[in-house]
Amino acid sequence: MSPQPPTAPGTTAADDDALAMQAHAWIAALASGAMEHAQLQAFEQWLALPGHRRAFEYERQLWRSLGPRSASGLAATAPQRRRQRWKRAAWASVAVLALVAIAPEATLRLQADHRSGAGIAEVTLPDGSRAVLDAESAIAVHYGAHTRRIELLRGQAWFEVTADPRRPFQVSADGGVVEDISTAFAVARREDQVEAMVEQGRVRVAAREGGGWTYLDAGQRARYGRGREVNRLGDVAPDRIASWRQGELLLDATSVGVAVERIGRYRQGPTFVRGDLSTLPAVNAALRLDRPEQALDALASSAGLRITRLPLGVAIVRPAAAGAQ
């Protein structure tokens, strides 16, 4: 069933059009996933005004259901046709704004050979090696006669490498490199740091091309950042490495902000944080990734968070104490 336009007593067509334009702009901003705290607060205030939620829901349904014009549309009156043309022009303007907002995502799509969305993706590489991409991750594949190089563009990935003495297998990320020495290992890229974790065998890690190597065996981890040296981290049980491949997110003494970010990768809509989460105690938890909404609720319950869910799958997370003010 097609969505029906909202109506409100005492409003004119111009009023409805202006409200529709506001709804269009909010939809584009929410879909970009790049709204700041002040913008989120302004959206909540706008949505609470009389008639605004109805207008927003109508435009949201229209956006999702836009397709070829039906035969009945050809019989529309002249004023209706003018209004339809105005709406199409408005949507075109909003689409341009949305494209500007998601330009980094478009750049990533051009660079990546394989990407994952809100789920995990498994990739068979040209030499038979396997790569498993965590949610919201991307890689580029560069294979040559003497090299096998994977560029980790975003997120994290686990690799099971097919041996080939003539061509080393390397994963590059943020200026550094992780080189396989017959093994299964994971590499994670988070903000300005890269972490390597070995499940089986051995790898070596350098913070920059041509830099000194740090060797890691099963259960060992190391981290580096651009312009910084490789630092060894505490060892972990090999079966806990890349646990997300089995649909489980293990949080060990993890900050609440990082926990929210990791769960957010598996949600269908954007996740925003309002308020300061850095003062909350670190959390320990094991959460199911196939039920991200329940995982977010479980984190909120244990960490003292409040979650507000809005249209388009938007979730706003804030400290519960702040939400009660």
3-state class of 203 per DSSP?
strand
CA distances in angstroms from 198 to 50, 109, 174, listed in the order given: 56, 28, 19
Q: What is the pLDDT of residues 194-236, one digit of tens each?
A: 999 999 999 999 998 777 899 999 999 999 998 789 999 999 9
Does the pTM surpass 0.75? The reply is no
Point out which residues pair with 149 in neighbouring strands. Answer: 142, 170
Continuous segment of H or E residues that includes residue 43: helix 37-48
* Closest C-alpha among 93, 158, 84 to residue 125: 158
Report the chain's terminal Cα–Cα distance, integer Å: 41
CA distances in angstroms from 190 to 168, 195, 222, listed in the order given: 25, 8, 13
34: pLDDT confidence band, cut at 50, 70 and 90?
A: low
The token pair that represents 87 in the structure block:
């709406």
Q: What is the mean pLDDT of residues 136-161?
A: 95
Higher pLDDT, 37 or 204: 204
| Cα–Cα distance, 165 to 15 (Å, whole number) | 70
65: pLDDT confidence band, cut at 50, 70 and 90?
A: low
Q: How many CB atoms lie within 10 A of CB 5?
A: 13
The interaxial angle of helices 52-65 and 13-32, nearest 10 deg, is 70
Tell me if 131 sits within 8 A of 180, measured CB to CB: no
134: pLDDT confidence band, cut at 50, 70 and 90?
A: very high
| Cα–Cα distance, 308 to 294 (Å, whole number) | 14
CATH of 113-238, one of 3.40.50.10860, 3.40.630.30, 2.60.120.1440, 3.30.1330.10: 2.60.120.1440
Tell me if 154 sits within 8 A of 114, measured CB to CB: no
For residue 282, the model assigns a pLDDT of: 95
pLDDT reading at 51 higher than 80: yes
71: pLDDT confidence band, cut at 50, 70 and 90?
A: very low
CATH classification of 247-323 is 3.55.50.30, yes or no?
yes
10-14, 104-108, 135-139, 255-259: least confident range: 10-14
173-177, 226-230, 310-314: least confident range: 310-314
| Cα–Cα distance, 31 to 100 (Å, whole number) | 12
Tell me if 282 sits within 8 A of 253, measured CB to CB: yes
Average pLDDT, the chain: 81
Tell me if 203 sits within 8 A of 175, measured CB to CB: no
- For the chain, domain boundaries: 13-101, 113-238, 247-323
pLDDT reading at 26 higher than 50: yes
